[in-house]
Chains A and B, each alone.
Chain A
Amino acid sequence: MSRPPEELLDLGELRDSARRLLTDSRERATSAGELWQTIASLGWLGIGVTQVRGGLDQPFSALAVLYEELGRVLAPHAFIASSVCLHSLAGVVEERTAADGLLHRAMRGEVILADLTAAGASVQVHGGLLQGIVFNVFDADRATHLVLRVDHEGPQIIGVPMPHAAIAIVCRAAWDESRVVADVHFNGVDVQDTLTFAAGSAALAAASAMAAHRDLAMACDALGGAEAVFAATLQYLQTRQQFNRPIASFQAIKHRCADLAASLAGARALTVAAGRQFTEQEGDWRSAASACRLYGGSVYREVSEEAIQLHGGIGFTWEHHCHRHLKRSRCSDVLGGLPDQRRDAIAPALFRGARH
């Protein structure tokens, strides 16, 4: 994974340009489709994919910047879903297959992938037909293809084009309106209608890379959201005057902000470390990614809760954006299982590493 430094994008510049683009499109109310095309034309979708495969060959730190910036503006999940699939599968699909062609189109933004692999292999194959329900999928409704894991003549990662007569997407009423949460029902999809990205050990390797990548992306998304709502809170505290001074001068307020800043600094340090570990595939990078998501998610919860209290009455209103972060932080937790399930899953690896 080592590469000459001159080929690396400047992360500060990448962050600035991403923030400008996303802020600008929010102000101009650019349509989701138009923004998607812009993002694709900038190469964001394949930013970490090798150059041979048509990507920009950047380490995870570049993706982290994009995930954070999208989290700041409460972006839909489509970018994370497509990017997780693309980056994990680009290295394993065989060249010049239909699956390879699909990934190239995904990198150009012509197709949108939904990531159903977070739920593991919850769809069964019976008599050549896919049956089952995948719960709590984000933004599946706009996807042109669903990516999922099945066990059919061994483990496989497959894609299913949408819409499909035997697939029903049942949207859930969710508090978080920044993403669409849906259950995807497979009512007998013919496996002939699907294409295979990876099978056997390659599928298992890709699935575990996808899980770690998704965890890191969600951690970055949480960090971006937390930093945005924290920055807005600080600004409000400096502006709001009571007793003839900005309420930011009260120690009762300052100490809580300092604690939040400490949590954010911790989340950032852990995210940088886990991202580097993922790029280098060093040590137990899978557990590190999961731990990073657990911590990042808890910090997003903490910061978005405090943001509302620190804003006072205005923070309790629908008009103010605080509640959007509070809701997104909760909703993010359910993707691919609950935090306690993640704790249980990494406990053996963490505990083994601590032996005397």
Chain B
Amino acid sequence: MTGPSAEEFLAFQRQWMRTLVSSGYATAHWDRRWPGGGRPLDEQIIIAEELARADAPRLTLYFISLFHAALTLMEWGTPEQQARHLPAILEGEVWCQGFSEPNAGSDLASLKTRAQRIGDHYIVNGQKIWSTLAQHADYCLLLVRTDSSGPKQAGITYLLMDTRSAGVVRRPIRQMTGDEEFAEVFLEDVKIPVANRLGEENQGWRIAQTTLNSERGLTILELSERLYHARWRLLDAIGQRDGQVADDQRRREAVDVFIRIDVLRALVSEMMAAARAGADIGAMASFVKLHYASVLREFARLGERASAGAHLRDAFTVGGGYETGNWAFDFMNSYQWSIAGGSNEIQRNIVAERVLGMPRDKAPPA
């Protein structure tokens, strides 16, 4: 790890989770039956904006629990499943997401991890990858294949898996930055009770859409605000004094990056206005993600060029946003946003086909 040890990270996250749960800020997007829940989107936006303004640590360990797991359980869980997990999440139950596989990334629906029903259990075999912080998780949102006969989307089932079950092996993935924010999950004859199935058998693809849409733009809103508030780091890197930057090229490049941050924020606020009106934000979300990935990269690139050699591998604190001021680290880390959560290339396909109406290319015969 570039920053604190894994133990320090976990200890801090637990403490920060307790603080945000007890103040109600962690659960603003939950429904009103829960403490802190039932806040309108406007107030959720304010909370995200203020967390960014304060440069508060991000609740990365509990992100999947609070958004993906909680909102999916609230919409699709049985009363028993909800009673078992939602209070536990507030107490710190950590969830991870077992969606991607080595051969099912952008083409998620082609996933091959198999689940066979035997009596009251599914027996699961396969492999998941890019599961955020899965090495620390208690439970996993797991997509498995239960039918291979029809269209690939129609044979997927959604299971809730205890990560301590026999046959589950988790192996952290060391990133190019040295951090381990993701893990591989190997599944060998893992027994999962049928009671832990979400929805009906083969209904998993539809339920997964709830999971994937659970953030409703709030994450990217918070991250774009963090980038906005971190602009001073870039100015320091390019040598500003009292608002003046002597080097013409650096000054002009910084102006362009600043303008692009304003463009990003203007797009995000349009997207949130659409979300508030209950409109579909799919197309806007693709534009926003493309802009964020690219301006984040440019931000880090300019800082890195301006401070070449100044940040070889000195210690610094991670855990805030994606702009730590260690420019080489930030540059490398910015790839998370052009690859994860639908790569830039997938976003471009979405824009071209769904927004611009360009025809799909014929897939080669299977």
Contacts and interface: CB of A to CB of B under 8 A. Distances in A.
Most A C-beta atoms less than 10 A away, residue of B264, B359, B360: B359
Q: Kindly state the interface size class of chain A when it binds its partner.
A: 35 or more
B266 A254 contact: no
B244 interface: yes
B255 A348 contact: no
A255 B352 contact: yes
B26 interface: no
Contacts of A340: 248, 252
A192 interface: no
Contact of B355 (A238, A251, A261): A261
Contacts of B263: 266-267, 269-270, 295
A288 B263 CA distance: 11
Interface string A255-278: 101110110011101101100000
Interface string B287-326: 1001100000000000000000000000000000000000
Interface stretch (B198-206, B216-224, B343-351): B343-351
Given A352-B243, A354-B232, A259 B290 contact: yes
Contacts of A266: 260, 263-264, 266-267, 287, 291
A265 B256 contact: no
A199 interface: no
Given A273-B262, A343-B255, 15 more contacts: A246-B359, A248-B359, A249-B358, A249-B359, A255-B352, A257-B352, A258-B349, A261-B287, A261-B356, A266-B260, A269-B269, A340-B252, A344-B252, A347-B244, A348-B243
Interface string B223-267: 000000001100100001001110010011011101110111011
Given A257-B358, A262-B290, A270 B252 contact: no
Contacts of B287: 261-262, 265-266
A279 B358 CA distance: 37
A289 to B, nearest CB: 12
A354 B356 contact: no
Nearest to B353: A254
A180 interface: no
**Interface of A: prevailing SS:** helix
A25 B230 CA distance: 50
Interface in B95-153: none
Question: Which 4 A-B pairs rank lowest in CB-CB distance, beginning with the nearest?
Answer: A254-B352, A258-B348, A269-B266, A258-B351
Contacts of B240: 351
A354 B234 CA distance: 10
Given A262-B290, A266-B291, A238 B358 contact: yes
B352 to A, nearest CB: 4
Given A258-B348, A294-B259, A343-B255, A251 B361 contact: yes
B270 interface: yes
B349 A261 contact: no
Interface of A: 234, 237-238, 245-246, 248-251, 253-255, 257-259, 261-262, 265-267, 269-270, 272-273, 288, 291, 294-295, 340, 343-344, 346-348, 350-352, 354-356
B217 to A, nearest CB: 14
A355 B234 CA distance: 11
Given A249-B360, A259-B290, A355 B232 contact: yes
Interface string B332-351: 00000000000001011111
A350 B266 contact: no
A273 B269 CA distance: 10
Given A234-B358, A258-B348, A262-B287, A291 B267 contact: no
Contacts of A257: 351-352, 356, 358
Nearest to A256: B348
Contacts of A351: 235, 240, 243-245, 254, 258
Contacts of A288: 262
A178 to B, nearest CB: 26
Contacts of B269: 269, 273
Contacts of A258: 290, 347-352, 355-356
A272 B270 CA distance: 10
A184 B331 CA distance: 49
A306 B352 CA distance: 15
B245 A347 contact: yes
A231 B13 CA distance: 49
- Name which of A249, A250, A266, A295 has the most chain B CB atoms within 10 A of its CB: A266
A251 to B, nearest CB: 6
Contacts of B290: 258-259, 262
A261 B353 CA distance: 12
B244 A348 contact: yes
A269 B267 CA distance: 6
B119 to A, nearest CB: 47
20 contacts: A248-B358, A249-B362, A253-B358, A254-B348, A257-B352, A258-B355, A259-B348, A261-B287, A262-B291, A266-B263, A266-B287, A288-B262, A291-B258, A295-B259, A295-B263, A340-B252, A343-B256, A344-B252, A351-B240, A354-B232
A291 B266 contact: no
Given A258-B348, A266-B266, A348-B244, A291 B259 contact: yes
Nearest to B268: A269
A356 B232 contact: yes
B244 to A, nearest CB: 7
A288 B258 CA distance: 11
A291 B245 contact: no
Nearest to B351: A258
Contacts of B232: 354-356
A348 B254 CA distance: 11
A78 to B, nearest CB: 29
Contact of B266 (A237, A245, A250, A272): A272
B339 to A, nearest CB: 15
A187 B362 CA distance: 68
B4 to A, nearest CB: 23
A19 B349 CA distance: 30
A340 B290 CA distance: 26
Contacts of B255: 291, 294, 343, 346-347, 350
Nearest to A294: B259
A245 B359 CA distance: 9
A254 B358 contact: yes
Contacts of B256: 294, 343
Nearest to A234: B356
A218 to B, nearest CB: 15
Nearest to B233: A356
B252 A255 contact: no
Instruction: Give the most central of B251, B284, B362: most A CB within 10 Å.
Output: B251
